[in-house]
Every structure is written in structure tokens, then in C-alpha cells.
């Protein structure tokens, strides 16, 4: 009686978590075989989340919240920032996108009904077992310990199930059976959106800056001007092209805007383009992982422990890029604010 009271809800919870992982063998084996490892993975995910939010709070950029949420939601997939581009831009500023991510993530306390009810059932059954264990002390020759002991042995399962609902993974609020299946596609979609919005932001920034640049003026020379940022307009590239006898549409040229920084402020960064090719900002390294990191391939959140190093590097890169971008924005803004006329800025020096 006692045993069936404990075992049935526990088994139900177990079956539900099996369904949650789509009966894939390795996550199940790891969770059952080593609850310590599963708990470690969950704790890491939670700590990563706090780390990302804490670091993002130190940045002044307006889209820091969106970036932080995107980073938090990308923990289940081995991603890296491309190393092809020297300096990185990462600007998901679109309001709609931000709202969507926020909506998904703010569903934090909406519990999937099935999981909620079976966790409640497990708790109630355990309380009954507890009472039974203290009241019926000599009901059998083993002292009625079986139910209590086995129930205690399985208690971690309830903790992990509740914990995976608390910790913000991308599909936290979604139905339990579809969760693991959609997790990959959702993360992929988020990565793709980041890339797309970065592309759009790149284009809009390009047109915004080239609109504000005077066409005929000579360009500021970084060695002579005191301003920290010198702008090389698309006019110059056009000039170059016409000099070479090639006339091109300057808007089609991706390296039209080059921010060449004076070496006084940021001596560590070389002269680079702020806006890299945004199509290739985040790359999925799943294809490149060999036998060494095969644990990073499965997209179950149980395997977050294997992605920790790669993930921390990604977070660091992205947030540092955002910080750089904020500084660039400030500098460009101050240049635009302080000079009513661009010609003065250059000729007075």
C-alpha cells in the first residue's frame, strides 16, 4: 500500500520527464544514473543566467536586455562568434523581436499543467508516506522503511523537474512534450533573428551616418584632427572607384563606412570596420565538433555542462562587443553634437 502510494506518482513523473526528453537515451541515462550531474547542469544554467544578466547590467546600451535574454536562451546550442570579423556588432534593437523574446521568457511562472499536477501528487504522496512511516512502525518485518527510503531516494527528481521549469530556457513556458523538440529550432530561430536584426541595424546605421555626412568636404585626417573618431564617408570610396575608372553604387559596398580610431584612446584595437558582415555573426559549431566534444552536440539542456566553456567565451565576446558599440555610439554622438558644421571640425584643427 505504502509502496504503491509512493511509486505510482514517482513513476508518472519519471515517465513525464522521459517524454520531455523524447525518450532519447543519453539524457535519460545521465539524469537517472547521475542526478548529481543533472543537478550540476541545472545549477550551471542558472549561474550562467545570473552571470549574463549581471554583466549586461553594467552596459549602457539600450538593447542590453534583449541581448542578455537572447544569450540566456542560446545555452542549449554550441555557438561561437565568428572570428572572421575583427570587431563585432551585435544589435538586436527591433522592438517587435525584443517583445517576442520577453514574452517567451516572462512566462516563467506559468507551469505546464501536467507537470504541476504530478509534482503536487508526488509531494502529497510523499507526505502520506511520511505519516505512514511514523505511524505504522511495525507493520512488517522491515519496519515499513521501504516506502519512505525509496521515496527519499527519488526526491531529486522532483527538484530537477521543478528546477528546469524555473530556470529560463527558451522553451520554458511551452508544453512539456514539445519542449525538447522545439528547443533546438527555437534557439536556431533566435540566432537567425539576431543575425537578421544586426543586418538591419547595420544598414540603417550606414544610411543614417552617410546622410549626416557632408558630401563635398575633405575628409578629416586622423593624424591632424583632435576628434577621437574620424569618418571616412562613402563619398571617398566612390571617388576612389571613379579614379580607378570603375563606377559602382556606393551603397552596395559593405565597407563604405570605416571608423578609423585614433590610437590615443583605444590603442589595443586596430583600424577596423565596426560593422562586420552580420549574416555570419553567430555560427553553429555543431558540425565541427569531433569525438572530443560529442556531448555538446545533443540539444538537451541536460548537456549544458559540456557547453559551459564555449558559452562563457560567447557571452564575453558578445557583451564586450556591445560595450565597444556603446562607446562608439557615444563618440559618434559627441562628434555630431559638438560640431554644427562638419567643415569647421576639420578645418579648424
Partner 1 sequence: MFNASIFALVLQCGTTTAAVIIVVFTPTIGLGCRSLGYTLYGGVSILILFLTIISTISARVSETRVGRPTTFSIKGFTASTAIVLRKLSLFLAFLNAVWLIVLSSFQFSHTLNNCYCNAAVTGNGPDSYIIISFEGWISTIKAGRVSATILAAASMAIYMGFLWFTSALPTGLDHS
Chain residues 309-328 in contact with partner 1, contact rule CB under 8 A: 309-310
* Touching partner 1, residues 233-292 (CB under 8 A): 291-292
Q: Considering only the stretches 97-105, 190-198, 227-235, 246-254, report the one whose residues sit in contact with partner 1 under the rule CB under 8 A.
A: 97-105
The rounded distance, in Å, linking the Cα atoms of 299 and 185 is 10
Secondary structure of residue 30 in the 3-state scheme: helix
Contacts with partner 1, 43-62, as mask; x by CB under 8 A:
xx-xx-xx--xx-xx--xxx
Nearer to partner 1 by Cβ, of 65 and 250: the residue is 65
Asked if 189 touches partner 1 (CB under 8 A), the answer is: no
DSSP per residue, 291-326: STTGGGSS--GGGGGGGHHHHHHHHHHHHHHHHHHH
Nearer to partner 1 by Cβ, of 36 and 246: the residue is 36
Asked if 33 touches partner 1 (CB under 8 A), the answer is: yes
* Touching partner 1, residues 117-176 (CB under 8 A): 130, 133-134, 137-138, 140-143, 145-146, 148-150, 152-156, 159, 162-163, 166-168
Nearer to partner 1 by Cβ, of 162 and 219: the residue is 162
Asked if 98 touches partner 1 (CB under 8 A), the answer is: yes
CB of 288 to partner 1, least distance (A): 10
**Rg, Å, the chain Cα set:** 28
φ, ψ of residue 80 to 5 degrees: the values are -135, 155
CB of 83 to partner 1, least distance (A): 13
CA angle, 30 as apex, 16 and 115 as ends, to 5°? 20
- The neighbour count for residue 338, using CB atoms within 10 Å, is 10
Asked if 308 touches partner 1 (CB under 8 A), the answer is: yes
Q: Tell me, by CB under 8 A, how many residues bind partner 1.
A: 74
Nearer to partner 1 by Cβ, of 108 and 208: the residue is 108
The rounded distance, in Å, linking the Cα atoms of 49 and 247 is 50
Asked if 100 touches partner 1 (CB under 8 A), the answer is: no
The rounded distance, in Å, linking the Cα atoms of 349 and 24 is 68
CB of 65 to partner 1, least distance (A): 4
Nearer to partner 1 by Cβ, of 83 and 224: the residue is 83
CB of 97 to partner 1, least distance (A): 13
- The neighbour count for residue 243, using CB atoms within 10 Å, is 8
Q: Is 269 left (phi over 0), alpha (psi -120 to 50) or beta?
A: beta
The rounded distance, in Å, linking the Cα atoms of 122 and 155 is 9
CB of 295 to partner 1, least distance (A): 6
Secondary structure of residue 11 in the 3-state scheme: helix
Asked if 333 touches partner 1 (CB under 8 A), the answer is: no
Amino acid at each position: 500500500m505504502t509502496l504503491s502510494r509512493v511509486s505510482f506518482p514517482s513513476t508518472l513523473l519519471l515517465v513525464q520527464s522521459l517524454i520531455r526528453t523524447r525518450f532519447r537515451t543519453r539524457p535519460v541515462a545521465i539524469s537517472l544514473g547521475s542526478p548529481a550531474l543533472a543537478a550540476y547542469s541545472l545549477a550551471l544554467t542558472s549561474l550562467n543566467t545570473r552571470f549574463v544578466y549581471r554583466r549586461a547590467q553594467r552596459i549602457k546600451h539600450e538593447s542590453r536586455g534583449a541581448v542578455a535574454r537572447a544569450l540566456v536562451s542560446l545555452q542549449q546550442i554550441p555557438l561561437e562568434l565568428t572570428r572572421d570579423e575583427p570587431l563585432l556588432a551585435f544589435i538586436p534593437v527591433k522592438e517587435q523581436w525584443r517583445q517576442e523574446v520577453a514574452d517567451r521568457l516572462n512566462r516563467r511562472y506559468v507551469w505546464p499543467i501536467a507537470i504541476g499536477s504530478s509534482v503536487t501528487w508526488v509531494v502529497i504522496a510523499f507526505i502520506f508516506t511520511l505519516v505512514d512511516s511514523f505511524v505504522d512502525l511495525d507493520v512488517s518485518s522491515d519496519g515499513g522503511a521501504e516506502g519512505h527510503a525509496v521515496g527519499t531516494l527519488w526526491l531529486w527528481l522532483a527538484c530537477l523537474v521543478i528546477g528546469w521549469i524555473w530556470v529560463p530556457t527558451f522553451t520554458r513556458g511551452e508544453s512539456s512534450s514539445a519542449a525538447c523538440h522545439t528547443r533546438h529550432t527555437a534557439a536556431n530561430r533566435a540566432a537567425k533573428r539576431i543575425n537578421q536584426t544586426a543586418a538591419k541595424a547595420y544598414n540603417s546605421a550606414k544610411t543614417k551616418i552617410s546622410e549626416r555626412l557632408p558630401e563635398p568636404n575633405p575628409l578629416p585626417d586622423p593624424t591632424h584632427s583632435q576628434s577621437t573618431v574620424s569618418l571616412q564617408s562613402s563619398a571617398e570610396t566612390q571617388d576612389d572607384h571613379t579614379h580607378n575608372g570603375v563606377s559602382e553604387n556606393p551603397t552596395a559596398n559593405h565597407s563604405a563606412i570605416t571608423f578609423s580610431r585614433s590610437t590615443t584612446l583605444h590603442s589595443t584595437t586596430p583600424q577596423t570596420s565596426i560593422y562586420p558582415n552580420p549574416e555570419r555573426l553567430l555560427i553553429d559549431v555543431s558540425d565541427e565538433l569531433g569525438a572530443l566534444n560529442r556531448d555538446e552536440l545533443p540539444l538537451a539542456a541536460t548537456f549544458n555542462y559540456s557547453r559551459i566553456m564555449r558559452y562563457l567565451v560567447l557571452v564575453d565576446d558578445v557583451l564586450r562587443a556591445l560595450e565597444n558599440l556603446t562607446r562608439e555610439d557615444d563618440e559618434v554622438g559627441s562628434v555630431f553634437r559638438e560640431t554644427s558644421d562638419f567643415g569647421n571640425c576639420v578645418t579648424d584643427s
